[in-house]
Amino acid sequence: MTGADPDATNLTRDGMNILVTGASGMLGRAVAEALIARSAKLGRRDRVYTFQRGASSIEGAQDRRGSLGDPGAVERAVDGIDAVIHLAAKVSFAGEAEEFDDVNIEGTRRLLTAARQAGVSDVVFVSSPSVAHHGWSIVGDGAGPASPEHARGNYARTKAAAELLALGMDSPGFRVAAVRPHIVWGPGDTQLVERVVARAKSGRLPLLDSGAALIDTTYVDNAASAITAALNRMDHAHGRALVVTNGEPRPVGELIAGICAAGGAPTPTRHIPGWLARAAGSVIERVWTVAPGEDEPPMTRFLAEQLSTAHWFDQRQTRQVLDWTPEVSIDEGLSRLAAHYGGRASG
């Protein structure tokens, strides 16, 4: 197994070449950094590569820039790689169904097919709980099977199809696990956190209903550690889909208030009925609009669509399979967020 990359030829028994796709986003960056830190901590010689259009600017990682739509770039990206963590996806509201199909389904197919051919042994497919969501509220559920027919919207539909495709390729020599982090947030989060704070500062952030719906979220470092844990535990995790959260469901109103406080914005006080928001449709979308082209799991859309209903999960199986527990509590996460903004966390 040789490739153009000179580093890849220097594989040692205690080092792996790991490719992270979509490392320009908050979670992709956190995953790459976690892998680098893990390697250093364990005295290993892992090499971390990233794959996205732009520069990742992650210290210690090597960029292999390109697009999932470019077969040549994909082949080059997986060359000499042992393990792939696939986060890159099209998440925006905008765009035609075909674009989502191309990036999320065909892009995944292209990447995994190339990876298998290149001799990659392990793949962690980063997915979303929305792939299995066909009801309104989720109360302590596990990870149901992905269902493109029932998933709501192009993103969830195409991610569901991609997850089925990825897990369908799972075999003893090419192990695939799906990890579904739910609503990832943290410092540097341009989607959830910055939008909430910006809207709250301009006084245009309403709460839906009483704001009491319980929502599970995932602090970014926990999502990253769960994904790296999946790589460690491929023996147990392959072939499965696992929802990952902080395991601390909180009322959505409290979360929003906590983020606002951390960001130095006033707590929203305006309540509007959820049915009205849903009927109007655009109210929420205007609040949560995501810029096109960002390669991130779509926590914003998922949250915005169903901000007024419960979404929390039974984490027992996930924690057992991954032998993992979140290290950063929500309160600690909010403190870090406050420190990031240079503000003060309230309460």
Partner 1 sequence: MHGCRFRAEHDHDGTRLVSAVWPGVELDWSRRISVPSTASVDPSGTVNDWHVLDNGPELAARGLSPVGTLLCVHGNPTWSYLWRGLLRAATDSPEPWRVVAVDQLDMGFSDRTGTFRRLEDRITDLHDLTGALELSGQVITVGHDWGGVISLGWATRHRSQLAGVVLTNTAIHQPQGAAIPAPLQVALNPAVHGWGTKSSSAFLRVTHALAHPPLPADVRSAYMAPYRRASRREGVANFVADIPGSPSHPSYPTLEAVAEAVRTLDVPALLLWGPRDPVFSDRYLRDLMDRLPQADVHRFEGAGHLVMEDRDTAGTILDWLAATYDDGGDDSGTRDGGIRSGLGQTTGGAHGKMSQSGAKRSASGTATDATKEFRPLWAELDRRAGDTATSVVDMVGGSGTASSLSWTQLAERVRNLSSGLAASGVKPGDRVSLLVPPGSDLTALIYACVRIGAIIVVADAGLGTKGLSRAVKGAGPKFVIGIERGLTAARLFGWPGERISAASLAPARRRLLGVTHSLAEIAARGAAERRSGGQHPEEPGPDDQAAILFTSGSTGPAKGVVYTHRQLSAMRDAVANTYGLRAGTSLVAGFAPFALLGPALGATTVTPDMDVTAPKTLTATALAEAAAAVNATAVFASPSALRNVLDTAAALANRGALEQVQVLLSAGAPIPEPLLDELTGLLPQASLHTPYGMTEALPITDIDLEGIRHARLDADSQAGAGSGAGSEAGAGSGAGSQAGAGSGAGSQAGAGSGAGSQAGAGSGAGSHAGAEGGLPTNAETDTREPGPGTGAGNGVCVGRPVSGAQIAISGLDEDAAATGALTRDPAVTGEILVSAPHVKNHYDRLWATERRSSRTRCWHRTGDVGHLDDQGRLWVEGRLGHIIPTASGVLTPVALEQAVEAVDDVGRAAVVGVGPDGAQVPVAVVETLPPADRPSLAAPALTAAVRAAAAAANPDAGISAVLVVAELPTDIRHNAKIDRAGLAGWAAEVLAGGKMTAP
**Site size for partner 1, by CB under 8 A?**
33
- Beta-carbon contacts of 50 under 8 Å, excluding residues fewer than 6 positions away, are 19, 20, 21, 23, 24, 28, 32, 56, 58, 61, 62, 63, 64
- Binding region for partner 1 (CB under 8 A) out of 65-73, 225-233, 291-299, 310-318: 310-318
- Does 305 bind partner 1 (CB under 8 A)? Our answer is no
Decide whether 4 or 279 has the Cβ nearer to partner 1: 279
- Residues facing residue 141 across a β-bridge: 313
Residues 272-301 touching partner 1, rule: CB under 8 A, are: 274
Least Cβ distance, residue 266 to partner 1 (angstroms)? 12
- Does 210 bind partner 1 (CB under 8 A)? Our answer is yes
Residues 122-151 touching partner 1, rule: CB under 8 A, are: 136-137, 139-141
Least Cβ distance, residue 199 to partner 1 (angstroms)? 19
155 belongs to the catalytic site: yes
Q: Among 110, 116, 250, 301, which residue interacts with partner 1 (rule: CB under 8 A)?
A: 250
Q: Among 101, 102, 285, 314, which residue interacts with partner 1 (rule: CB under 8 A)?
A: 314
Contact present, 178 and 169 (Cβ < 8 Å): no
User: Cα 116 from chain centroid?
Assistant: 23
* Closest among 79, 90, 163, 154 to 125, alpha carbons compared: 163
Q: Count CB atoms within 10 A of the CB of residue 201.
A: 14
- Cα 225 to Cα 35, 222, 332, 339, distances in angstroms: 9, 5, 16, 21
Contact present, 131 and 156 (Cβ < 8 Å): yes
Cα–Cα–Cα angle for 295, 189, 96, rounded to 5 degrees:
30
Binding mask 186-205 for partner 1 (x = CB under 8 A): --------------------
Name the residues that contact partner 1, by CB under 8 A. Answer: 136-137, 139-141, 209-214, 247-251, 253-254, 257-258, 261, 267, 274, 308-310, 312, 314-316, 319, 346-347
Residues with catalytic annotation? Answer: 155
